[in-house]
Amino acid sequence: MKRHMKALLETYSLIQIVLNLLLIFSLATGYLWVITKDQNISLIVGGITALFSFYFILYTDKKVQVENHYFKELQKYTTNVTFYLQSGYNVLKALETTKETLDPKIEKDINITINELRKNAEMKTDHFQKYNFSSVDIFHQILQIKYDKGGNTKDLFSNINKSINFEIVKRDELFRRKRYMKHKVMVMMLIVLCMPLLLSLTAHELYDTFLSTGIFGMGLTLAIYSGIVISYFFMEKSVSDLAIQYK
């Protein structure tokens, strides 16, 4: 739980969390009040929607954006280190020069490696594994070989840099393709959500009669609403899966 909260607070500030929750709660509650005509149900289901939608939909989407950013920063990191090594810099100097051009979080991780090199003359890079970028882990294994035994930089790093660049390109292509499909599905979901809303506003007597059937009318209305929210969650989960499948 603590780990999840830390990750959440690294992605959103406390004010952003509160504002997002209030916005979702207000929209959901307002929509539900119009289509159910029941204040208590609107408040309860609106609150559940706010918590569920923020954590499992908005937060998931934001995590993907942040992850994409860090992957591109890691690509820049590996490319720049290789460039400086080819220019005649040693490993320590290449890392020191590269860190200045990167995101503060990546810079902090590079500083851990640099400090370990200065204090103990050891190449510590296992903290980069938190990014789940296997090609960068392989890059660090090759960097270890370069530090321990030397060797031709181009021969050592050429293939792994190509692999990293290929993975970033394919990941971007997959992300754009899934985003496009997501937007199309969202339009269809919006149309479905608008149907009871339009009926409630334009044919309110007929709609009130439908709701007066009791459990059936209210249950069907909430089932459609819940189905849309849950379907959106599964769609967001699919869009966030950007693992590259190698054949």
What b/e string do you get for 146-171 counting C-beta neighbours within 10 Å, with b at 16 or more? beeeeeebeebbeebbebbeebbeeb
Q: Return the closest-CA partner of residue 37 out of 232, 199, 231.
A: 199
* Geometric angle at alpha carbon 98, from 92 and 159, rounded to 5°: 85
Is there a contact between 229 and 237 (Cβ–Cβ < 8 Å)? no
- In a 13 Å sphere around the CA of 243, the CA atoms on its Cβ side amount to 8
In this prediction, what percent of the chain has a pLDDT beyond 90?
72
Distance CA 117, CA 95 (A): 10
> Which has the minimum average pLDDT: 6-10, 100-104, 126-130, 157-161?
6-10
Distance CA 233, CA 116 (A): 43
Q: What is the pLDDT of residue 1?
A: 63
- Tens digits of per-residue pLDDT, 9-24? 788 888 999 999 999 9
- Tens digits of per-residue pLDDT, 178-215? 999 999 999 999 999 999 989 888 888 888 888 888 88
Rg of the chain (C-alpha set): 25
Look up the pTM and report it: 0.83
One DSSP character per residue, 193-227 reads HHHHHHHHHHSHHHHHHHHTTTHHHHHHHHHHHHH
